Structure 1
Amino acid sequence: MGEKNISIIGVPLDLGQNRRGVDMGPSAIRYAGLVERIESIGHQVMDEGDIYVDAAEQRDSDETNLKNLDEVVKATTRLAQKVTDIVESGNFPLVLGGDHSIAIGTLSGLAVKYKNLGVIWYDAHADLNTEETSPSGNIHGMPLAALIGLGHDKLVNLHNEGQKVKPENVVIIGARSVDPGERELIREKGIKVYTMHEIDRHGMTTVMEDAIAYLKDRQVDGVHLSLDLDGLDPLYTPGVGTPVPGGMSYRESHLAMEMLEDSKIITSAEFVEVNPVLDDKNKTADVAVGLMGSLFGEKLL
């Protein structure tokens, strides 16, 4: 990527889902040596600290079945403003989760600058549920739907009104757990998805080459990488809240990051769903930092 000024933002948010512990993800990733790893590659790193997250009120809402909606909206609104400030200063935003609901804030902040943003969603899940289709009411299964303009008004209109990303500018990689409502939406909106079937059949090299070419053909003005650690097989990343067997390997994921670095298309990134409570000796955070090393140009030779 060449030398970059990278601003790190932690988002200790675990209210978009039921399992506690993912709020400690940013600390676990920092503890795994993130800043030192990126600086050793030659980048300038500024750790901007963590976004403040309100405690959840234990109450049911007559308005919606979405869990902790107001608290998620407040935290992601703060994140969105911080991301906007960072991109307007010319720095590269690197966001550490927290659960995947934080992506609503990250991309809402990016949308102030990028009007034709491309997104690579590296994840076992499509995250395209709405309150009507969600089996759980967990907002971490809804961020991509909200970002393409579907779902609760408070999520869709966060930071600025309406759709933040065009559905045709989204590429999902590694999907293997998709709900029926999400499947319908993928077909209806023409969202590009590479499931594990495509990765197994054609290989990660072909999938990434196709994904990069696809986004370049869309003439996007930036590309955001949203990487959920459950995209990898839980053999490599046990510390995630919703593990799905049969995922991408450690080596396939490093290759994907190396190819993104070679392509020079990535303008922002987030790494989410590291849960140290469920982890084994910080293994998942170590993998996250290793993948960031590859994304930012770390080479063996």
Structure 2
Amino acid sequence: MNEIDMKLWSGRIDAGEGELATRWHQQVRPCSADVAPGVALVGFACDEGVRRNQGRVGAVEAPAVLRKALANLAWHQATPVYDAGDVGCPDADLDAAQQRLGQRVAQLIAAGHKPLVLGGGHETAYGTYLGLAAAYPDKTIGIVNLDAHFDLRESAEASSGTPFKQIADLCQAYGRPFRYLCWGVAAPSNTRALFARAAALKVQWQPDTALTEAQLPQRLAELDAFAASVDLVYLTIDLDVLPAAQMPAVSAPAAFGVPMAVVEAVATRLAGSGRLAAADLVEFNPRFDQDSHGAKCAARLAWSIARQWQP
């Protein structure tokens, strides 16, 4: 765990506007043992899984960039927000890094916080889930993944393409139900082997073409039903689910994608449901950002989730 770098939290101050004009950099505090429950930001500064998956590396830099993007946003939150520092992977030992992330997520939950993890590649998801599984050993955890990819690949080593297969294997080993909903799937980007595995694991999925704004009411009703069928929900947003024009800064930009308005609506619906136990935003790659378009989209989603979330 790296030390918390609060220097990232800086920005504009509207001194003449009073306390209603504050911004995130004026409100976010370091996460310590004596703070009241709130939303805890924890970075997973890692893209080792992306490298192993033959993707474009750079997501290791995302947590710091996303904090800077959040810093100057207007403060509308009723719930406190804390910075809980970063978990890194400096030695390319991804398994150990995921275990450390899981331990940190479990610690934050035990302290009453809602962990919002800033990845990192989608290998982040296995670490986040490990923390949830440790914190809630007797609960059924439903996974909602907004993603162009199933990330169910079978492989000898963990990568950004394997996290949900790893979770499925973990659930089988411990006799836990594997409840996985994946929305935004791009058929050209997933092999028939992945579709077959999704079917075998009884994954509930929708293609990117079924997640338009016109179809949103139907999708939200399905989302509510899924959330009601489990004890807790874990939301993971792979930012490559967004159209490339809205999110260019990922390893694999989407040719079609799911509109930002739909992604935000799904995220805020879950955040306000009372069932969301943890969330993460993954695959943001600052090296391919254009005029901070990607950072602004990702920060908007984090802002929206935190605004709706109650500890």
Deviation at 1:45, TM superposition (A): 1.4
Cα distance in 2 between the residues matched to 1:138 and 1:280: 30
Q: Aligned letter for 1:122? A: L
Structure 1 position 281, deviation (Å) = 2.2
- Pairing of 1:246-261 with structure 2 (within 5 A): 246-261=256-271
Q: Is the 8 A contact 1:80 1:108 kept in 2?
A: yes
Matching of residue 44 in structure 1 with residue 56 in structure 2: no
In structure 1, the residue matched to 2:144 is 120
Q: Paired residues, what number?
A: 265
Determine the C-alpha separation between the residues in 2 that align with 1:142 and 1:293: 28
8 Å CA contact 1:5–1:92 kept in 2: the answer is: yes
Written as runs of structure 1 = structure 2, the 5 A alignment for 1:138-287 is: 139-149=159-169, 156=170, 162=173, 166-167=177-178, 169-176=179-186, 177-200=189-212, 203-216=215-228, 218=229, 220-287=230-297
Please name the residue that 1:61 is paired with: none
Percent identity over paired residues: 26
Conserved 8 A contact 2:240-2:254: yes
2-structure distance, mates of 1:198, 1:32: 30
Q: Distance in 1 between matches of 2:205 and 2:183?
A: 6
Cα deviation for residue 201 of structure 1 reads: 9.4
C-alpha displacement of 1:178: 1.9
Amino acid at match of 1:190: K
Q: CA deviation at 1:294?
A: 2.2
Aligned equivalents of 1:42, 1:201: Cα separation in 2: 28
The 3-state SS of whatever aligns with 1:205 is helix
Q: What CA distance in whole angstroms lies between the structure 2 residues aligned with 1:247 and 1:163?
A: 35
Shift of 1:173: 1.0
Cα distance in 1 for partners of 2:132, 2:254 equals 29
2:68 maps to what in 1?
31
2:30 alignment partner in structure 1: none
Deviations 1:185-223 (A, max 9, x none): 11112110011232249612211220221231x2x2211
The runs of 5 or more residues in structure 2 that have no matched partner are: 1-35
Aligned to 1:88: 110
Which residue in 2 is equivalent to 1:6? 39
Match of 1:153 in 2: none
Task: Please state whether the residue corresponding to 2:49 is helix, strand or coil.
Answer: coil
- Alignment equivalent of 2:59, drawn from 2, 6, 22: 22
> Following TM superposition, by how much is the alpha carbon of 1:103 offset from its aligned partner in structure 2, in angstroms?
0.9
Shift of 1:130: 0.9
Q: Counterpart in 2 of 1:131?
A: 155
- Quick one: structure 1 residues 282 and 76, their matched pair in 2 at CA, closer, same or farther if it must change by over 3 Å? same
Worse-matched range after superposition: 249-258 or 89-98: 249-258
Looking at structure 2, the residues matched to 247 and 76 of structure 1 have their Cα atoms a distance apart, in angstroms, of 28
Distance across 2 between alignment mates of 1:227 and 1:109 = 17
Q: Which amino acid aligns with 1:12?
A: A
Q: Decide whether aligned partners of structure 1 residues 77 and 164 sit closer, same or farther in structure 2, where only a CA change above 3 A counts.
A: farther
Listed as ranges, the gaps of 5+ residues in structure 1 are: 57-70, 150-155
Letter of the aligned partner of 1:296 in structure 2? A
* 8 Å CA contact 1:101, 1:140 repeated in 2: yes
Residues 221-258 of structure 1: CA deviation (Å, up to 9, x unaligned): 21110001001111100000011211111222222223
Relative to the length of structure 1, the TM-score reads 0.81
